[in-house]
Amino acid sequence: MSKVVPELPSQLAHVQVRPARAEDVQDIFETIGYWAGQGKMLVRPMQNIFENLRDFFVAEIDGQFAGCGALHVLWGDIAEVRGLAVRPEAQAKGVGQKIVAACEDEARRIGIPTVFAWTYSVGFFERCGFRLIDKTKELHPRVWSECLRCPFFVGCNENGVVKRLHGVPEPRNLPEPPPTQVPPGIR
């Protein structure tokens, strides 16, 4: 990583989360790219980040980029937490949890009752109140929306986790979602 976030004891870390800005894209791109290189998440091209910039939140510790994450609306009843990446130097200071909380607040604000994520970090999401789901049975048809550009499309081994947000009613008059192609090997 090109920039170094100062080491801070977890209990002293001052984490702030805000909507992303154009000037954050390089940091978002590098941080996601770093973890994609470690096989922890899907690489995200810079153009994709710009096009979805209004989905993204950025976390800062003492004004320095510490991590990012996005809430992407999939349908009227579900949104996906994606692009969640904390700089290695800023891990275990509550950054990831605060970004997920910001995504949940955004889902509440726009009236979406369920948040979903694909992940290898199930334990982290469980700590955030998500539950692991059986991806052969319980998945909303729209959660496969990004799978077609994934190199692990065939025989996907990511886990699906979901959280029903308290106090957010199911939207009324929702049309049926269009069918989405399910990766081979899932069912």
Ligand X SMILES: CC(C)(COP(=O)(O)OP(=O)(O)OC[C@H]1O[C@@H](n2cnc3c(N)ncnc32)[C@H](O)[C@@H]1OP(=O)(O)O)[C@@H](O)C(=O)NCCC(=O)NCCS
Cα angle for residues 173, 130, 119 (degrees, 5° grid): 100
- Using CB under 6 A, pick the residue from 17, 61, 78, 96 that binds ligand X: 96
- Using CB under 6 A, pick the residue from 121, 145, 159, 180 that binds ligand X: 121
Smallest CA-to-CA distance from 99 within 142, 140, 55, 143 is with 55
Gap between the Cα atoms of 156 and 182, Å rounded: 10
3 state DSSP class of 172? coil
Find out whether 182 and 150 touch, Cβ atoms under 8 Å. no
How close are the terminal C-alpha atoms of the chain, in Å?
39
- Using CB under 6 A, pick the residue from 17, 41, 143, 156 that binds ligand X: 41
- Using CB under 6 A, pick the residue from 26, 48, 52, 97 that binds ligand X: 97
Gap between the Cα atoms of 134 and 143, Å rounded: 13
Q: Least Å distance between CB 172 and ligand X? A: 30
Q: Least Å distance between CB 55 and ligand X? A: 14
Q: Is 12 in the site for ligand X (CB under 6 A)?
A: no
Q: Least Å distance between CB 169 and ligand X? A: 27
What the block records as the tokens of 28 is 């978002």
- Using CB under 6 A, pick the residue from 5, 115, 117, 162 that binds ligand X: 117
Q: Is 168 in the site for ligand X (CB under 6 A)?
A: no
Give the binding range for ligand X (CB under 6 A) out of 21-29, 46-54, 85-93, 175-183: 85-93
Gap between the Cα atoms of 60 and 45, Å rounded: 22
The residues that touch ligand X, with contacts defined as CB under 6 A, are 35, 40-41, 84-86, 91-97, 117, 119-121, 123-124, 127
